[in-house]
Amino acid sequence: MISVLVAEDHTVMRGGLVELLSVADDLEVVGTAVDGAEAIELAEELRPDVVLMDISMPDVDGIRATGSILEARSETRVVMLTAFSDRDRVVAALDAGAIGYLLKDSEPQEVLEAVRAAARGDAPLAPRAARQLLAARSEEQRADLSKREREVLALVAEGLPNKLIARRLEISEKTVKTHLTSVFQRIGVSDRTQAALWAQRQGFGTSEQG
């Protein structure tokens, strides 16, 4: 049996979630919280397997509550269930330790499956939230690259070999290889083909060389 704590400040929504979860034979609602502070207290007391957490709550919001809950007990799985799919909230919630991120317009079955997935250690993400997360991570990776690394990567995306890249940028081939090794590590790829595809998706081009 998977024990679930529901943290939601809206009475109707909270009641609906409790009713939905109670229908499932393998899920048990062990408590409800009306704000983040109460969620922290109940999570410590009840030690649920999964917390369904709203982000926007009075006083202590869901993101702060998530961080506190997981600091006290890392085994608890927190799934955000919110109306917000903007990038900042998605990234902040997952950075705080939430394992999943669902939107309140999700189908009831999606919510049930997300709770089960979280209990298994999987990461249920709403498609819109996943897209925002990928976009944010790509921006971070791009920001990590130096100006010279971006120039080298732009030329790789154009299909130039190391020798021509070296000539174009007036550096040695060895330096090109050093930059590429660094680029591969920063963007999480293992070869120049994957790097070129990544660069093309990110819109790298000759403008990077200016």
DSSP label at 125? B
- The CATH number corresponding to 2-135 among 3.40.50.2300, 3.20.20.60, 3.40.50.300, 1.10.10.10 equals 3.40.50.2300
Tell me: pLDDT of 210 over 50.
no
Q: Please answer whether residues 46 and 5 qualify as being in contact, where contact means their C-beta atoms are separated by less than 8 angstroms.
A: yes
Helix (H) or strand (E) holding 40: helix 36-46
Residue 206 has a pLDDT of 47
Q: Which residue has the tokens 């940028």?
A: 169
Overall pTM surpassing 0.85 (yes/no):
no
Give the pLDDT confidence of 25-67 residue by residue, as tens digits.
Answer: 999 999 999 999 999 999 999 999 999 999 989 889 999 999 9
Question: What is the pairing mode between strands 2-7 and 50-53?
Answer: parallel
Please identify, in words, the CATH class of the domain defined by 145-209.
mainly alpha
Question: Residue ranges per domain, the chain?
Answer: 2-135, 145-209
